[in-house]
């Protein structure tokens, strides 16, 4: 469920504040990088609210590779579909780094929504954005080159990250291997494509960050290759 900073087409600020206030009634829980919050086939009776960090949602393919379908960040909640259905979970939800979350019983959240029906529309917008993001990733994965797939993923990461300064520079707290998993590319291919992007002056890579030097240039490059 991405949080878009350009135009903020997702949940309105007041809805975010009200949700944050609701989850403040439950204690903060800490999870370390690599810890699994939910396993496939788990019966879901709680909803997790992200305070900080990243959680990836994925399945394991028949050949043993992780297939990442979504990434959750600050102020998002999951699995939102469990509010509407009692179906078992089909995915792994794993902390991509050290995270802080609050966890509420699903029935408490349903009661909150019943008492605040105006929030539901904003949540539907958020769910729509999440579905659109997944569909776009699938579209690039099925029909685009490795270069385009990595371009899309970097542009998408920028949309969920605050600017480093006023020059449209973004420091993305993501590693090469995570980009490889999110795009379905091998690490070798990801490394090769990033080198090409570095040669073009689009990005730089350090141990802590992948820095997008100018978001608009990267976005225009993606547009030129669609």
User: Which portions of the chain are predicted below pLDDT 70?
Assistant: 1-11, 87, 140-143, 163-167, 224-226
Domains of the chain, earliest start first: 13-137 (2.60.120.10), 145-224 (1.10.10.10)
Neighbours of 85 (CB within 10 A): 9
| Residue 87: DSSP 8-state | P
Contact by Cβ (8 Å): 34, 94: yes
Which residue's entry shows tokens 């954005």?
129
User: For position 165, what pLDDT does the model report?
Assistant: 63
Residues 82-112: tens digit of each pLDDT: 777 776 788 999 998 899 999 999 999 989 9
Cα 5–10–60 angle (5° rounding)? 90
Q: Whole-model pTM above 0.85?
A: no
């Amino acid at each position: 469920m991405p949080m878009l900073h350009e135009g903020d087409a997702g949940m309105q600020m007041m809805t975010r504040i009200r949700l944050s206030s609701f989850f403040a009634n439950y204690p903060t829980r800490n999870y370390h990088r690599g810890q699994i919050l939910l396993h496939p086939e788990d019966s879901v009776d709680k909803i997790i609210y992200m305070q900080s960090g990243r959680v990836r949602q994925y399945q394991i393919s028949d050949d043993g590779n992780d297939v990442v379908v979504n990434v959750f960040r600050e102020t998002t909640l999951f699995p939102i579909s469990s509010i509407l259905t009692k179906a078992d979970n089909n995915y792994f939800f794993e902390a991509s780094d050290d995270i802080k979350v609050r966890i509420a019983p699903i029935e408490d959240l349903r009661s909150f929504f019943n008492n605040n029906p105006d929030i539901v529309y904003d949540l539907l917008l958020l769910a729509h954005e999440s579905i659109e993001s997944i569909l776009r990733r699938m579209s690039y994965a099925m029909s685009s080159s490795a270069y385009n797939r990595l371009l899309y993923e970097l542009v998408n990461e920028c949309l969920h990250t605050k600017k480093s300064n006023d020059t449209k520079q973004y420091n993305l707290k993501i590693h090469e291997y995570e980009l490889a998993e999110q795009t379905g590319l091998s690490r070798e291919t990801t490394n090769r494509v990033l080198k090409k992007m570095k040669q073009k002056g689009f990005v730089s890579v350090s141990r802590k960050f992948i820095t997008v030097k100018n978001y608009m240039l990267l976005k225009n490059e993606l547009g030129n290759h669609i």
